[in-house]
Amino acid sequence: MKTNTRLIHVETPSNPTVKISDIAAISEIAHANGALLSVDNTFASPYNQRPYELGADLTIESLTKYINGHGDAMGGAALGKKELIDQIRSQAMVNLGGAISPFNAWLIMRGAVTLPLRMRQHNESAQKVAAFLQTLPQVRFVAYPGLYGHKNHETAQRQMQNGFGGVLAFGLNTDHDGHNSFVSKLRVITNAVSLGHDESLIVFLGENDERQYLYGDEFRGGFFRVSIGLEDAEDLISDIKNALLAYKTV
């Protein structure tokens, strides 16, 4: 904290490493120093985690992701006490034009109806896929807060009420070309950069990523971020098995 700190902003689980920040603990630090806490809750969704109940002043949700759930609309939301939301309405929306289009709002509201059902499937399938990846000798590491080996697992258990989300990260014991070769052999999981859709998406973050130095040692050398969709978990596991058999190793 600095003397002029007025806002702390965290993203938990974080993108793309799915690390966990302790919302309640950071809230205490922020408020003890006269600052606000805002939390990007996109990876968890309101189904799995409610930062406001843990002491956050503002919760940020990318409606484009899990709340819409179909990858066909763009939007975002800020949630909090009326006095803070009034400031956002009067300043950000008026001065910056941050208002969602009616059609996108309709699509998102349509998708939001099934959010609890979809999140249960995302949670369950991601847990199964992460546990499977842990058993493979070709896999260098797996990062998913639902795994007991995840260093933030206990914190995730405390603040994520219904599950650990649909996003995980993992790396292979191979080089840049080997990672890309593996992706090219996938047939069910799609190579794309978004997340929270009905279909499973994977993106490779190479060793030339300018943020690599922030991620931690286990992420060096390149890794995948995977958003587990609504497909049957066994189909996803079979897809990974087949791709590992076919891809070019080093």
Alpha-carbon gap, residue 167 to 48, rounded angstroms: 13
Alpha-carbon gap, residue 248 to 225, rounded angstroms: 20
Angle, helix 233-246 to helix 176-184, in steps of 10 degrees: 130
Q: What is the CATH number for 36? A: 3.40.640.10
One domain for residues 130 and 198: yes
Alpha-carbon gap, residue 142 to 166, rounded angstroms: 14
Alpha-carbon gap, residue 200 to 180, rounded angstroms: 17
One domain for residues 56 and 136: no
One domain for residues 121 and 232: yes
In the prediction, which pLDDT does 206 show?
A: 87
- Of 97, 112, 127, the position where a domain reaches its end is 112
**Count of domains in the chain?**
2
Q: pLDDT (tens digit, 0 to 9) for every residue of the chain, 250 residues total?
A: 999 999 999 999 999 999 999 999 999 999 999 999 999 999 999 999 999 999 999 999 999 999 999 999 999 999 999 999 998 888 877 777 778 899 999 999 999 999 999 999 999 999 999 999 999 999 999 999 999 999 999 999 999 999 999 999 999 999 989 999 999 999 999 999 999 999 999 999 987 777 877 888 888 889 999 999 999 999 999 999 999 998 766 4
Alpha-carbon gap, residue 109 to 100, rounded angstroms: 12
Nearest to 79 by CA among 107, 94, 59: 59
Phi, psi of 216, rounded to the nearest 5 degrees: 115, 160
Alpha-carbon gap, residue 222 to 162, rounded angstroms: 30
One domain for residues 239 and 119: yes
Q: Which domain holds residue 88?
A: 7-112
Report the helix count and the strand count for the chain, using DSSP H and E: 10, 9
In the prediction, which pLDDT does 29 show?
A: 98
One domain for residues 229 and 123: yes
In the prediction, which pLDDT does 99 show?
A: 80
In the prediction, which pLDDT does 248 show?
A: 63
Reported pTM: 0.93
Element at 38 (helix H, strand E) = strand 36-40
In the prediction, which pLDDT does 250 show?
A: 47
One domain for residues 58 and 169: no
Contact partners, residue 198, CB within 8 Å, separation at least 6: 69, 70, 71, 118, 229, 230
93-126 b/e (C-beta count within 10 Å ≥ 16 → b):
eeeeeeeeeeebeebbeebbeebeebbebbbebb
Q: What is the CATH number for 169? A: 3.90.1150.10
Contact partners, residue 224, CB within 8 Å, separation at least 6: 169, 170, 171, 172, 179, 183, 202, 203, 204, 205
One domain for residues 128 and 240: yes
Contact 152, 145 (CB under 8 A): yes
Alpha-carbon gap, residue 70 to 195, rounded angstroms: 10
